[in-house]
Amino acid sequence: MLLAPIIWVLTVVVMYFFAAKVWWFPPPINQHGLAYDAQFMRTLVITGVIFFFAQFALGWAIFRFRDDGRRASSSHGSNKWETIWTTATAVLFVGIVLTGTKIWVAVHLSDPDPNAIPIELMAKQFAFAFRYPGPDGKFGETDLAQVNDAAGNPFGLVDKDPAGKDDIVSASLKVPVGKPIKLIMHSRDVIHNFFVRELRLKQDIVPGMEIPLYFQADTPGTYEIPCSELCGLGHFQMRSTMQVMAEADFEKWKQEQAANK
Amino acid sequence: MSEPLAHAHHPPQGFIRKYVFSLDHKVIGIQYYFLALFSVLVGMSLSLLMRYHMVHPDAKVAWFAKLWPTAAQGGIMTPELYLSLMTMHGTIMVFFVLTTAPQSGFGNYFLPIQIGAEDMAFPVLNMLSFWTTFVALVVMVAAFFVQGGPPLSGWTGYPPLSAIGPLAGPGEGLGQTLWIVSIAIFCGASLMGAINFIATLIDLRCQGMSLMRLPLTCWTWFVTAILGLLGFAVLLAAGVLLILDRSAGTSFFVPGGLLVSDQILNHKGGSPLLWQHLFWFFGHPEVYIAILPGMGVTSQILSTFARKAVFGYRAMVYAILSIGFLGFMVWGHHMFMSGMSPYSAMAFSVLTMAIGVPSAIKTFNWIGTLWGGKIHFTTAMMFALGFVSLFVTGGLSGIFLGQPALDLYFHDTYFVVGHFHMIMGVAAIFGMFAGTFYWFPKMYGRMMNETLGKIHFYVTFVGVYCIFTPMHYLGIAGNPRRYSDFTNFDFLGKLLPVHNFMTQAAYGTAAIQILFFINLFWSMKYGKKAPMNPWNATTLEWTIPSPPPFDNFGGQHPVVNHGPYEYSVPGAARDFIMQTDPVDVAHVE
Amino acid sequence: MPSSITSDIVKPPAPPRGGGFGGGGGGGSEGWGASRRASMTGLMVLLAATTMAFAAFTSAFVVRRGISNDWVATPLPRIVWANTAVLLVSSLLLELARRSLKSGRRTAFNRYWTAATLLGALFLLGQAVAWRELYAAGIFVATNPSSSFFYLLTAAHGLHILGGLTALVYVDVQALRLRLGPGKRTAVDVSAMFWHFVDGLWLFLMALFLVWG
């Protein structure tokens, strides 16, 4: 009785906050993000319909079949209904995962773009560091024993390797707009995670593994990068930013960095 | 020399034998229940501290400094303290509440009775399993009191964070070791329990109690025991490997090339992903262990108070079996973002969607059970109805998370936290409340207070929706989980009002639980005396006195002639036929 | 007769009386049927759990071996072969003991069972010697992943041998004190079957070490 309207009100309130997008994704800045949002909406609509009807039916059953003197039905079930809703659920659930497969394949199972700009990421307790190969296009050798955060050498660039002399180390990720990027991710202590909401992309950074993440950002701006895998007491402070800029500005920035060496 | 039948037919003598080292499954069930009750108080207190800190990260609280002089200097909770409290909250809730009360608590008490047996198959093993669990809890709680405090690596304990010792953070010394040891002991206790449950259910059923006449509670306790048996064995193995990495210098999980706190570590060649695979191979069945008994209790109670047979009993049994079976094949959905093979991710995803199907069947069948029924709104029934609503809400968010494509955003956000709290932190708890109100009259021979029960129900039901639904919105906004505060990111600052709302809702919902405790303890002494069958229910526990004698059936052995949910049978004299009623021509099963 | 805590673990509880067969569709004669069956079920459950634990260790073994290049095969100490033989013989002796008991030859049963128990203890001693040999050769737990697994797997197996040995000793003591009545038949069978399982497990581990190092 009282439970029925309470369930209905809760259902409507819950659905309202989804429909009104009161707290929502930030706008996407890449094609993948658009595909992502479409898949999300498909899933939201399907689960929303199921949510509404299931809660409504529950509330209705509570209301309609409260004890008012009638006798209860002696039914033990219905094979017909079982078959219908089992099949419908199976089709819907498996269907929704299949429609999302393209997105997953695009991110993780497609041929990498050979023109992707390589940028290295080093995650550590509790900061991200990024490295660009510099004009020679080569990443210099690194050695854990050479790491010196205070001196601005989080990667542990080795002095005697000339290829590393022009490497650009940055605390934030800077990328040119509309160009494919290959982010080569390492961790030098525990598991961390690289996440940019606007890219709709996330990836654990696992020590002992080198994990590439390919993406492209199509809208200029500055976007926050929150570490998204518990890495210790500073996890909540482990922050960086991704700055997406016009290609000309990106080139200018790289030259400025090279000049400052 | 003849086999002495003695011990099963003499009531136990002496306080120690009756209440401490009892071999009676009913006493052991109550012991487990109260262990879980204590644990839930601890776990809930930890969560309130967490919610407080998230919205008042810089607050000075005098008694923080008294409790934690190092970790809360000046009364301000440090991030490491927050993470330790969070780790212990999850661990204590999952192991000592959700794995304990529904299965070892109610299952121990009622499985033997519902199948017509006079005790579990191995009473001494049963007693040992409780006290082993108790020791595990003591060791776990001890982690609060050692130097460095409890671990901060979450209930999932991912290495290298959990494997490299105090270099990784406070609590990662002795605290983390005690945590692993406690869990290893718990694994042993679970195994002992599983042996009893499975042997009892397979071999001690009374005459006429065929598998297809078992109450659904028994089916869930059975499948849950199998899940625990196979899952905890793997967790034990994983824990042993982790302890070796921590203290024997091995490198099962820890790779080379690590620089922590300016020190280069000696490990090399290990794989952090190996831990994740082993842990989640246990961890996923674990969540079904947490929910299945609640599903069984819900089926039982909905049927009783709608005066109607469970809709599709056979389908419900197959659903329970499928959930158990598939539950072992989906662990990878916790690892979509881990760096594991994207092909594996796709396989796990399809299986994860598949497991949604039997869950949906159960939900439809619950509604089907109510449909055309004659519903009596007792408190037990309210909680069972609440279970269904919460299971729908919590289960549906799984549809998002089971897709790796969508997990690219939602992994490690509050969307996940909302999902598992709805299912485990609420639906499963509602199953326990429902079971308490339903079976209390049988256990204590007295009725609980319905008014207190209903107030407690309504406030809790609305309260938990207020606490946990907003987490889904936070997840959509990208709020990461396991953050001790939200002051370092622009986008998080905007979400603080939601966190404030959730914190207030948490305080209110926690406060109303006092009504439950008052009801529980007051009713034990002063509740109205309960008849043998206050609910006019059909299963075997309602054929014996409230509370039952030490050997359940007084030396008799019941003979079962009917299925478990024969309500409102046309032509029958009453609107229910008990399982032990004589064979009735009006209905043939 | 007061039942001791240890005796109850192996001794099945009193079976249900009256009403004939003990449960929907089960066979088993009245009395011992249900409790013997329950003990057998309990054993199967225990073996399932043990299998899972070692399956977890084995999969960790396989994975760890494949992901790194620091795997150096652990040289099997020669005594391990002798230990294997000792274990196999002990299983054989247990079977001879059981057969003797079936045909009522109590003295033969006592001899075989005691011999098997002693051999079981000898196996553990032999394993300790194997560890000593490795230690002397400078191969410790953390030396390399292969040695880590060797110590781990032999230790885990050894723990299970110890558990089985406890059961064997219990039965042996009961037998030698002339307290091994028909009610303890199940204890004999359950202990023997557990021992055979642990024996088979050892053969599996030996194969793992020999083939995959």
Q: State the 10-residue block means of pLDDT for chain B, 589 residues long.
A: 44 83 96 98 98 96 93 94 97 97 97 97 96 98 94 97 93 96 98 97 96 98 98 98 96 95 92 98 97 98 97 97 97 97 96 96 97 96 98 97 97 98 96 98 98 98 98 98 96 97 98 98 97 97 96 94 95 93 66
Residues B481 and B545 in one domain: no
Chain B CA closest to residue C43: B195
Interface of B with A in 281-340 (CB under 8 A): 306-315, 337-339
- Closest residue to A207, CB basis, from B255, B476, B495: B255
- Tell whether B251 is within 8 A of chain A (Cβ): no
- Are C38 and B213 a contacting pair at CB < 8 A? no
Mutate to test the interface with C, among B16, B25, B118, B124 (most CBs of C within 10 A): B124
CA atoms within 13 A on the CB side of B544: 27
Interface of C with B in 156-195 (CB under 8 A): 156, 179, 181-183
Q: Would B519 be classed as within a structural domain?
A: no
- The pLDDT of residue B75: 94
Nearest to B71 by CA among B58, B84, B59: B84
Interface of C with B in 96-155 (CB under 8 A): 141-142, 145, 148, 152
Mutate to test the interface with B, among C52, C69, C153 (most CBs of B within 10 A): C52
- The pLDDT of residue B12: 76
Residues B77 and B144 in one domain: yes
Q: Would C47 be classed as within a structural domain?
A: no
The CA distance from B251 to B244, in Å, is: 8
Mutate to test the interface with C, among B13, B122, B213 (most CBs of C within 10 A): B122
- Are A10 and B465 a contacting pair at CB < 8 A? yes
Largest CA distance in chain B: 82
- Are A65 and B373 a contacting pair at CB < 8 A? yes
- Closest residue to B408, CB basis, from A50, A107, A235: A107
CATH number at residue C85: 1.20.120.80
- Are B399 and A46 a contacting pair at CB < 8 A? yes
Distance of CA A89 to the CA centre of its chain: 27
**Helices H, strands E: what count in chain B?**
19, 2
Residue with tokens 């009713």: B523
The CA distance from B294 to B297, in Å, is: 5
Mutate to test the interface with C, among B207, B236, B580 (most CBs of C within 10 A): B207
Residues B98 and B227 in one domain: yes
Chain C CA closest to residue B256: C68
* Contact residues, chain B, for A7 at CB < 8 Å: 389
Q: Which residues of B360-395 are buried (b: 16+ CB within 10 A; e: fewer)?
A: bbbbbbbbbbbbbbbbebbbbbbbbbbbbbbbbbbb
Q: Would B302 be classed as within a structural domain?
A: yes
Q: Which of B477, B511, B545 is the last residue of a domain?
A: B511
Residues B556 and B492 in one domain: no
Interface of B with A in 62-121 (CB under 8 A): 78-80, 83
**Rounded mean pLDDT of chain A?**
95
Q: What distances in angstroms separate CA A192 from CA A235, B160, B342, B564, C2, one per listed residue? A: 9, 11, 19, 52, 59
Residues B437 and B532 in one domain: no
Interface of B with A in 150-169 (CB under 8 A): 152-154, 158, 160-161, 164, 168-169
* Contact residues, chain B, for C50 at CB < 8 Å: 233
Residues B371 and B462 in one domain: yes
Residues B414 and B502 in one domain: yes
Question: How far separated are the first and last CA of chain A, in Å rounded?
Answer: 75
Do B496 and B55 contact (CB within 8 A), yes or no? yes
- Tell whether B346 is within 8 A of chain A (Cβ): yes
Do B414 and B494 contact (CB within 8 A), yes or no? no
Q: Would C142 be classed as within a structural domain?
A: yes
* Contact residues, chain B, for C24 at CB < 8 Å: 205, 207-211, 213
Q: Which of B270, B304, B338 is the last residue of a domain?
A: B270
Number of structural domains in chain C: 1
Structural domain for B368, as ranges: 286-511
Question: CB neighbours (10 Å) of residue A68?
Answer: 8
Q: What distances in angstroms separate CA B512 from CA A44, B47, B506, B517, one per listed residue? A: 33, 15, 10, 9
Structural domain for C86, as ranges: 78-212
- The pLDDT of residue B246: 96
- What is the spatial order of strands in the sheet that A117-124 belongs to? A168-170, A127-132, A117-124, A180-187, A211-216
- Tell whether B497 is within 8 A of chain A (Cβ): no
Cis peptide before A176 (omega within 30 of 0): no
- The pLDDT of residue C33: 54
**Which portions of chain A are predicted below pLDDT 50?**
none
Residues B44 and B101 in one domain: yes
Residues B96 and B157 in one domain: yes
Chain B CA closest to residue A35: B405
- The pLDDT of residue B10: 74
The CA distance from A172 to C2, in Å, is: 75
The CA distance from A86 to A78, in Å, is: 12
Number of structural domains in chain B: 3
- The pLDDT of residue A68: 86
The CA distance from C39 to C15, in Å, is: 11
Residues B290 and B320 in one domain: yes
CATH number at residue B329: 1.20.210.10
- Are C52 and B206 a contacting pair at CB < 8 A? no
Nearest to C202 by CA among C120, C107, C112, C137: C120
* Contact residues, chain A, for B489 at CB < 8 Å: 224, 226, 239
- Are B251 and C145 a contacting pair at CB < 8 A? yes
pLDDT of residue C22 exceeding 60, the answer is: no
- Are B161 and A230 a contacting pair at CB < 8 A? yes
Nearest to A188 by CA among B256, B113, B87: B256
Q: Would C52 be classed as within a structural domain?
A: no
Chain B CA closest to residue A110: B342
- Tell whether B588 is within 8 A of chain A (Cβ): no
Q: Would C30 be classed as within a structural domain?
A: no
- Are B575 and A97 a contacting pair at CB < 8 A? no
Q: Which chains touch B (3 or more CB pairs under 8 A)?
A: A, C
Q: Would B92 be classed as within a structural domain?
A: yes
pLDDT of residue C141 exceeding 90, the answer is: yes
Q: Would C175 be classed as within a structural domain?
A: yes
The two tokens of residue C33 are: 């049927």
Residues B388 and B339 in one domain: yes
**A165 contact partners, CB below 8 Å, separation of at least 6:** A134, A140, A261
Q: Which of B455, B482, B511 is the last residue of a domain?
A: B511
* Contact residues, chain A, for B575 at CB < 8 Å: 71-72
The CA distance from B431 to B290, in Å, is: 10
The CA distance from C160 to C197, in Å, is: 10
Chain B CA closest to residue A68: B374
Chain A CA closest to residue B265: A189
- Tell whether B391 is within 8 A of chain A (Cβ): no
Cis peptide before B480 (omega within 30 of 0): no
Q: Which chains touch A (3 or more CB pairs under 8 A)?
A: B
Region C139-148 average pLDDT: 94
- Tell whether C52 is within 8 A of chain B (Cβ): yes
Confidence of residue C51 (pLDDT cuts 50, 70, 90): very high
Q: Would C73 be classed as within a structural domain?
A: no
Confidence of residue C182 (pLDDT cuts 50, 70, 90): confident
- The pLDDT of residue B335: 98
Residues B414 and B495 in one domain: yes
Nearest to C42 by CA among B123, B195, B190: B195
- The pLDDT of residue A70: 84
Q: Would C43 be classed as within a structural domain?
A: no
